Amino acid sequence: MRGTPDPQGAGLFRLAQATGDMPVTSCTSVSVLPGGGAKFDTLLEAVARAQDHIHMEYYIFEPDRTGTQVRDALAERAGAGVRVRLLLDALGSARLGQRFLRPLQEVGAEVAWFHPLRLRKVLRPMLNLRNHRKLVIIDGRTAFVGGVNIGDDSNERLSTAAFRDLHLHMRGRIVSWLQMLFVEDWHYAVGAVLQGAELWPTQPAGPITAQVLPSGPDTPWEPIHRVFVSAMERAQERIWLSTPYFVPSEAGRMALTSAALRGLDVRLLVPRRADSRVVTWAARSYFDELLRAGVRVFEYLPRMMHSKALLVDGDTVVAGSANFDHRSFRLNFELSVLFHNRELASYLELILSGDMAQSREVPPDRRPSPVMALTEATARLLSPLL
């Protein structure tokens, strides 16, 4: 997978660095893992090979079969002397109790909570500022980023109703920048500064151009939001967007409709029914404008679609944890990665094409009933809160 930013791509990377403070870097390899089954198989294999440290950061970690399998794999490595650090969002992983975590802590693993749910903090705005990132770093050499949480709901090998999702497995210099992000988040949550040369092994330059895109309420620039919109505005041929929650900003809506009005192949892939009815109704309230502009809208039918990815033209990909909504762009701590690479883009095209083949295309002349039209309009009023 080779790719060097063209002049337009270079401008997008400059924007990402100016807003997110992460430089352009590279990967020696990127594997796209379409689904929780592929993600957990690859993750557990990588965990079993860990020699020095395992850093994990998750929004949701469930105490179910999948969660227990991951916990036990971490405990085995911690018992063998590997440093294991697990950072969990206190709201997303609220079902985890001390009894579930005890096997980890008894063998020396460290567990920390992001914005703990204490009474004195519940009434503060921090309750609404969640860590939505899904990040794993092993020995400073391999990393996982994407949308798949830890739980049976994300594992189609255990549940036919599991979310359809997308994850990335990466190697190369990008891992050091993802490590930097974990170190910053750990320091914020725990107050401890992680140090040691073992965290930063020397990595060779790779052929895949990439850039880490962190975003959150700690920066006013909304890096992921700006990169999404800028990439769409620079598009020359197509824009394919996959998101489980579509509650666009004015800028995002304008970028999509303007591209379609310019004659580009613009497609939006969303679930037929999200895990929140209000979000589903709010998303549909935007369909009529998109359809009039020429955007093709697909609703994924088999199960909940949770993939978060943007494909622009034949070379630009953004994938990670961020949804296309106000919460991801402005409130949550999110993590996506920007790539410029034709082979990776082609592979994502195959995945999205397969998902669209299992979707219902919304007709351009859709006519919701008066009751449903009112329901959608009412849900749209809640958009800034969703």
Measured from the Cβ of residue 44, the count of other Cβ atoms closer than 10 Å reads: 15
The residue among 146, 117, 211 whose CA lies nearest residue 173 is 211
Q: Could you tell me the CA-to-CA distances from 308 to 93, 145, 199 in Å, in that order?
A: 21, 11, 29
Residue partners of 351: CB distance under 8 A and separation at least 6: 32, 34, 166, 307
Q: Tell me if 309 sits within 8 A of 166, measured CB to CB.
A: yes
Which residue in the list 139, 153, 315, 325 is annotated as catalytic? 139
**4 CB neighbour count, 10 Å cutoff:** 12
Q: Which of 152, 313, 325, 355 is catalytic?
A: 313
Q: Which two tokens stand for residue 322?
A: 């961020």
Would you call 121 a catalytic residue per the annotation? no
The answer to whether the CB of 139 falls within 8 A of the CB of 53 is yes
Known active-site residue 132: yes
Residue 55 CA to residue 261 CA, distance in Å, equals 45
Catalytic choice (306, 315, 326, 355): 306
What are the DSSP calls for 69-106, one per residue?
HHHHHHHHHHHTT-EEEEEEETTTTTT--HHHHHHHHT
Helix axes 7-20, 223-234, angle to 10 degrees: 170
- Marked catalytic residue, from 115, 167, 225, 308: 308
CB 346 within 8 A of CB 353: no
313 catalytic per annotation: yes
Given 53, 115, 134, 326, which residue is catalytic? 134
Is 326 one of the annotated active-site residues of the chain? no
Rounded Cα distance between 231 and 237, Å, is 12
Half-sphere exposure of 18 (CA within 13 A, CB side): 8
Query: Which tokens sit at 276?
Result: 């929140």
Q: Of the candidates 332, 331, 306, 330, which has an alpha carbon nearest to the alpha carbon of residue 319?
A: 306
Question: Quick check: helix, strand or coil at residue 245?
Answer: coil
Choose the catalytic residue: 55, 115, 132, 167.
Answer: 132
Return d(Cα 267, Cα 334) in angstroms, integer: 23
Cβ contacts of 316 within 8 Å, gap of 6 or more? 9, 12, 231, 310, 338, 339, 340, 345
- Show which residues are catalytic: 132, 134, 139, 306, 308, 313
